[in-house]
């Protein structure tokens, strides 16, 4: 007699059971949409970190010795393992992080994790002949760093973890992952799936607090730290890493500006503007967080954007119809609420939203559009990291560019126009690591991504991302 096919809940529960600690300290992880228990995460300490680093260091020489071709083959098998567990991973992610299953959310993120891992495995990296003039033959090669520390965020926990570990493993490093305390289950589950394929010790995980992250950044056996998160934490990692002169890739906070030029078709760009700002309910480093709209099209653009915003359903992530979810944690809810309330007191006009149920279940903050006349308001100057978009009217492009460049971060930016030549001229004037035209936040595994100013340094993705996970070595002769 055949065994019954496991249900989605059974496969999800099986994966949660495999990552649930059987001893030691652990803590409850609650669903930010409902407050219900999702599972229990281990609380690892410094001794656990030491053991994980030791295992990764011991496994690294053999992993490096496999060579690029064999390592890539293993990573492709690991991507297959993600695909085989995709629905269970997505449901755990939805329950823990809050993002819905559908839209550019949980299922999208799991698919992105698999896809980026495949891209890291498939990206060629050949030795580069620097000089060959008959007297000197010089080649540039990249060798493994050793053990890489990967410290991830809570907004895209699975996909960003793969952004960190995929190129690191491909280049012959081993990795110790430290997930956010807010979303450890999503990353523990991902690592559990990957480790059904990877050799022992190649990928380790420690699920601890800030002291574990600080110790990882300072650890003498860690050769590089990759970090995605706030600028303030990035600065702390820089300080912690200084004594051991670690290599760093830091993707830090942003406050991305979008500039709408006067020649646009408002209805054609409205949905792109919406998802640029509100993907993952605004909880994205490279989301559109300040929108500057020319006076000639201001009213039409705002009306079209408001129509889109009102139509997008928000609710519990496991409900298939929703495309927006709660803020992942109460602290972030309070930040968004504080910034919007301060803007309202200062006379800003709330067009949509701005009236959360502060006593209801879940960290739901409604999609909010705010007309802002005072550019110095916190809602404009600070990264809100949530579903509240300030909209600023401008009269000439020079003014808009100056306002867009006026903050101390520069992760991304965008220009919206029917004239690509003019859009590119404006884009070249913006102080950001990536400037999109008629889109915002669109990324590709072969296109380098990184920040300017206090949004961090180092590049991820593609050939440049692989190079960043190796030590350059010139062989001369």
* Enzyme catalytic residues: 251, 285
329/324 Cα distance (integer angstroms): 15
CB of 438 within 8 A of CB of 416?
yes
Nearest Cα neighbor of 346 from 282, 390, 403, 399 is 390
Helix (H, G, I), strand (E, B) or coil at 153: coil
317-354: b (≥16 Cβ within 10 Å) or e:
bbeeebbbbbbbbeebbebbbebbeebeeeebeebbbb
Overall residue count recorded for the chain in this entry: 477
Helix (H, G, I), strand (E, B) or coil at 386: coil
Q: Which helix (H) or strand (E) holds 308?
A: helix 298-311
CB of 172 within 8 A of CB of 120?
no
Q: H helices then E strands: how many in the chain?
A: 16, 20
Nearest Cα neighbor of 95 from 9, 19, 194 is 9
DSSP string, 257-307: EEEE-TT--HHHHHHHHHHHHHGGGG--TTSEEEEEEETTTHHHHHHHHHH
Q: Which residues make Cβ contacts (< 8 Å) with residue 94, sequence separation at least 6? A: 100, 101, 105, 106, 317, 318, 325
Nearest Cα neighbor of 330 from 358, 288, 367 is 358
Bridge partners, 346 (sequence order): none
206/177 Cα distance (integer angstroms): 6
In the structure encoding, which two tokens stand for residue 477, read together?
């002769």
In the structure encoding, which two tokens stand for residue 372, read together?
């802002």
Q: What are phi and psi of 109, to 5 degrees?
A: -65, -45
Nearest Cα neighbor of 256 from 285, 279, 282, 228 is 285
Residue 51: count other Cβ atoms within 10 Å of its Cβ. Answer: 13
201-220: b (≥16 Cβ within 10 Å) or e:
bbbbbbbbeeebbbbbbbbe
């Amino acid at each position: 007699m055949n065994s019954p096919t496991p249900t989605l809940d059974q496969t999800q529960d099986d994966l949660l059971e495999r990552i649930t600690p059987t001893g030691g300290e652990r803590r409850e992880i609650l669903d930010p949409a409902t407050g219900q228990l999702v599972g229990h995460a281990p609380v690892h300490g410094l001794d656990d970190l030491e053991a994980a680093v030791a295992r990764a260091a011991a496994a690294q020489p053999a992993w490096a010795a496999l060579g690029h071709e064999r390592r890539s083959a293993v990573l492709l098998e690991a991507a297959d393992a993600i695909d085989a567990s995709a629905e269970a991973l997505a449901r755990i992610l939805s329950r823990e992080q809050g993002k819905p299953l559908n839209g550019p959310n949980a299922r999208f993120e799991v698919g992105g994790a698999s896809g980026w891992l495949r891209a890291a495995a498939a990206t060629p990296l050949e030795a580069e002949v620097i000089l060959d003039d008959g007297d000197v033959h010089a080649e540039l090669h990249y060798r493994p760093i050793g053990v890489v520390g990967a410290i991830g965020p809570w907004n895209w926990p699975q996909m960003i973890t793969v952004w960190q570990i995929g190129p690191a493993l491909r280049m012959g490093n081993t990795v110790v992952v430290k997930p956010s305390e807010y979303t450890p289950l999503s990353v523990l589950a991902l690592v559990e799936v990957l480790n059904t394929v990877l050799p022992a010790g190649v990928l380790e995980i420690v699920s601890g607090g800030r002291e574990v992250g600080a110790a990882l950044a300072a650890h003498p056996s860690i050769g590089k730290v990759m970090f995605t998160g706030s600028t303030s934490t990035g600065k702390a990692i820089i300080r912690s890493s200084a004594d051991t002169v670690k290599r760093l890739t830091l993707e830090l906070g942003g406050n991305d500006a979008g500039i709408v030029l006067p020649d646009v078709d408002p209805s054609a760009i409205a949905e792109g503007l919406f998802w640029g700002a509100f993907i993952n309910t605004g909880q994205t480093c490279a989301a559109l967080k300040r929108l500057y709209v020319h006076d000639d099209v201001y009213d039409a653009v705002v009306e079209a954007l408001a129509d889109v915003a009102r139509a997008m359903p928000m609710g519990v992530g496991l409900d298939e119809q929703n495309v927006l979810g709660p803020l992942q944690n109460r602290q972030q809810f309070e930040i968004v609420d504080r910034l919007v309330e301060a803007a309202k007191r200062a006379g800003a006009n709330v067009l949509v939203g701005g009236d959360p149920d502060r006593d209801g279940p879940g960290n739901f903050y409604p999609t909010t559009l705010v007309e802002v006349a005072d550019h110095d308001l916190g809602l404009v100057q600070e990264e809100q990291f949530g579903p509240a978009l300030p909209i600023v009217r401008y009269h000439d492009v020079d003014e808009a560019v100056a306002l867009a460049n006026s903050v101390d971060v520069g992760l991304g930016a965008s220009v919206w126009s029917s004239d690509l030549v003019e859009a590119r001229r404006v884009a070249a004037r913006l102080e950001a690591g990536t400037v999109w035209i008629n889109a915002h936040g669109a990324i590709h595994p072969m296109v380098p991504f990184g920040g300017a100013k206090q949004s961090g340094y180092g590049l991820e993705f593609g050939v440049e991302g692989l190079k960043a996970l190796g030590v350059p070595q010139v062989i001369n002769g």
